[in-house]
Structure 1
Amino acid sequence: MRMQKNGLTMGKRIAAAVGAAALTLGLAACGNTNTADSSNGGSSTPTVSFMLDWTPNTNHIGLYVAQKLGYYKDAGVNVKILPTAQAGAETSVENGVANVGFTTLSNVAAFNSQGSDLKFVFDLTQKPVARWCALASRTDIKTPKDLSGKTFVSFGSAEQTAVVQQMIKYAGGTGEIKTATAGTNTFETLTSGKGDFGGFYVTWEGVESELNGPALNCFVASDWGVPGNPDQLGFAVKSSWLKDSANADALKKFISATKKGYDYALANPDKAADILVAQAKEAQLDSKLTRTSMEEIAKNGYWTTDDAKSLPGTVNFDDAQPYLDFQYKAGTYKDKDGNDPAQAPQAKELATNEYVD
């Protein structure tokens, strides 16, 4: 699960990490999925296709659990889980290759600023999961101020850069950084000395670091002057797709069953992790890493608010808008001509909680 804070730049790079085979499988599996397929070989059960944003990991565990335990069948919906395509989940949803895609609210803002028609309909993460880290062996880096002038290992994302520069300035640094393109493994890029710090997810690479090394020294953006929640990860659809009442009904069934899958994972982290490993064989997930990741998520409530065993799945608009405003002021969002939009993207226009029960 590599840090990917801006689908506009990441989408075209995903295939290198996932492999051409996954791309071929994804396109072959899709077929014509511009609408929820109610024909389904003569059955009246609608089919919803879901495109991953990366290789399968615990962010996607609810889908695999719901599929394995029959939650989709019980809800009256068929679900196809598709490997990520070279174009990325956002573009695939926009073009009708998939009905639903895994993305972030900020990615939806970026795509819609350029003319896309996406709607964020389910928010998995309720607390920031991104971490900005240097190797713990780098004793010269104690706070984000010490990142001034250092080399940031990234995918060229304007969003990531804005976050990092704000953290550095808040800590008293200049905000000036150099950049290096991340390879398929940010750990290797750092240990090779080609970069000084990079972005990670605490629920996956943070766990990997604790289990296998190398040790990291990490910072949370919200602790260093970045407003709101930068890490609202979840599901998006094409707005026009929802105009068909059959599609809207299928989406509600899909989200309800998927949410049940995530809730099962929170209550049974080890069992759910084992289901993910078995169901996503192509990813060759490490069982210990997957179990520990799910345990970390359940223990620290990254997906939950009041009830530790049940995720809300809803967008917190009070956390969403300040972050979108921040990124807008940083010049992250551009229209199709490369200009700044007239105003900041509005969270309540980009997202809805209507389909989460």
Structure 2
Amino acid sequence: MELHTSRLSRRPALAAAVLVPLGLAACGNRTVTRTDGSTTTVRFMLNWYPYGEHAPFYYGAEQGIFEEHGIDLRIEPGQGAAKTTQAVGAGEVNFGWADTPVVLGNIDNGVDVKSIGVFLQTTPSAVQFFADSGIDSAEDLAGLTIATSAGDAPTTTFPLFLEAAGLGAGEVTEQNIDPAGKNSALITGQVDALIGFAHDQSPIIAEASGKTLDSISYADVGLNFFSNGLITSGAQIAADRDIVQAMLDATSRSFAAAREDPEAAVAAMRGKDPQIAEPHVLLEQWNGTIDLLTTENSTSDVPGTNTEQDWETTISILADAEMIGADGSLEDYVDTGFTPAT
């Protein structure tokens, strides 16, 4: 893919997840800075309420990793990647955790954010179904009804999944369902399968239904793009690059530590949110996340280290899905001056 240096055209409509009214800009950009030896309070917003993928942040805070990097981390739940992205861009919080397709689409629409390190480098997007459904391969999806949610990354890229799997759009029936209702739709038999993030949803559905789930990942058919990662505002980068680097380094170290001791990482989440799942569900979610931290192109085992090749692939796929403009460059979306310390 050729990366152009021009700014992206402002597309009037991309995905629904990008079109949440900004309404935050009036808050102004509030940034954080620090002096040597000081500890700075940093507000950090998740993409959703806490689930297993977020264990490294709680573990890193508990183990003093963020404090060692001069950060007093204040973790806040989110209400979706779009709202998190826009809260970061408006300066309501200093850093966020958000899905890359949503982040890039919001950048196209003028939100002042940059990716500074993607951690889920293999997409968790997948078609999920009960293991006893008789589905053994992507070809078996033909003729089935699959729950989708308009505007999210798995749904918007679903046509590319079907193409990669050798299926035509008319070979499956898509039933648009609100994200909150998709799990129930599968459990009650309203649909044969659903698409979403398997590392998060499948353990929850299994817990609620008492049945084993299976899935076909988009990456299984050769379609891979970046997912959740660390973002901050352009204003924060301009105000203090050192604290941005410190946040990235502490996050990377926390992910590495949580990967080494999953049980302890999940235990650090206990009691942190009234909506949090049972520990065994959180553990399954975190173990599923570990499998997503690298790609076949990864040149480093340090979490959050991205390759230009994977970024190019991501930008190309999202442009093909019309989630972002066709003329975006790497520099439009990423501050490449930040790399996790080894």
Deviations 1:180-217 (A, max 9, x none): 21352533111223333212433333344566643334
Is 1:180 the counterpart of 2:180? The answer is no
Is 1:105 the counterpart of 2:100? The answer is yes
Residues 66-215 of structure 1 aligned to structure 2 (within 5 Å): 66-85=60-79, 88-139=83-134, 141-148=135-142, 150-157=144-151, 159-176=153-170, 177-208=173-204, 213-215=210-212
- Aligned match for 2:292, one of 302, 306, 319: 302
Q: 1:213 to 1:75 in 2, by over 3 A?
A: same
Is 1:322 the counterpart of 2:319? The answer is no
Q: Partner of 1:283 in structure 2? A: 275
Q: Partner of 1:269 in structure 2? A: 262
Q: 1:167 to 1:297 in 2, by over 3 A?
A: closer
Distance 1:286 1:161 in 2: 28
Flag as ranges the 4+ runs of structure 1 deviating above 6 A. Answer: none
Q: Partner of 1:349 in structure 2? A: 332
Q: 1:32 to 1:110 in 2, by over 3 A?
A: closer
Equivalenced residues, count: 315
Residue 11 of structure 1 and its aligned partner are, at CA, apart by 8.7
Q: 1:281 to 1:107 in 2, by over 3 A?
A: closer
Q: Partner of 1:218 in structure 2? A: 215
Distance 1:208 1:150 in 2: 22
Residue 270 of structure 1 and its aligned partner are, at CA, apart by 0.7
Residue 66 of structure 1 and its aligned partner are, at CA, apart by 1.8
Sequence identity of aligned pairs in percent? 18
Q: Partner of 1:53 in structure 2? A: 47
Asked whether the equivalents of residues 18 and 105 of structure 2 are also in contact (C-alpha less than 8 Å), the reply is no
Distance 2:187 2:206 in 1: 16
Which piece of structure 1 moves more, 269-278 or 163-172? 163-172
Q: Partner of 2:4 in structure 1? A: none
Residue 345 of structure 1 and its aligned partner are, at CA, apart by 2.9
Partner amino acid, structure 2, of 1:117: D
Residue 271 of structure 1 and its aligned partner are, at CA, apart by 1.0
Asked whether the equivalents of residues 152 and 179 of structure 1 are also in contact (C-alpha less than 8 Å), the reply is yes
Q: 1:265 to 1:330 in 2, by over 3 A?
A: closer
Asked whether the equivalents of residues 65 and 275 of structure 1 are also in contact (C-alpha less than 8 Å), the reply is yes
Residue 48 of structure 1 and its aligned partner are, at CA, apart by 1.8
Asked whether the equivalents of residues 53 and 101 of structure 1 are also in contact (C-alpha less than 8 Å), the reply is yes
Q: 1:45 to 1:346 in 2, by over 3 A?
A: same
Asked whether the equivalents of residues 124 and 233 of structure 1 are also in contact (C-alpha less than 8 Å), the reply is yes
Q: 1:138 to 1:162 in 2, by over 3 A?
A: same
Question: Partner of 2:128: helix, strand, or coil?
Answer: strand
Deviations 1:123-163 (A, max 9, x none): 11233333212333433x44334445644323202643343
Distance 1:347 1:105 in 2: 13
Distance 2:106 2:132 in 1: 38
Partner amino acid, structure 1, of 2:160: Q
Deviations 1:2-51 (A, max 9, x none): xxxx9852896xxxxxxxxxxxxxx9xxx987211659xxx953222111
Q: 1:33 to 1:115 in 2, by over 3 A?
A: closer
RCO higher in structure (CA 8 A, sep ≥6): 2
Partner amino acid, structure 2, of 1:316: T
Deviations 1:49-100 (A, max 9, x none): 1111111122222211121122222222222211215761011111111111
Question: Partner of 2:270: helix, strand, or coil?
Answer: helix
Distance 1:173 1:314 in 2: 34
Is 1:35 the counterpart of 2:31? The answer is yes
**CA-based RMSD:** 3.2
Distance 1:32 1:65 in 2: 31
Residues 333-348 of structure 1 aligned to structure 2 (within 5 Å): 333=324, 341=325, 343-348=326-331
Distance 1:189 1:201 in 2: 16
Asked whether the equivalents of residues 134 and 196 of structure 1 are also in contact (C-alpha less than 8 Å), the reply is yes
Partner amino acid, structure 1, of 2:130: L
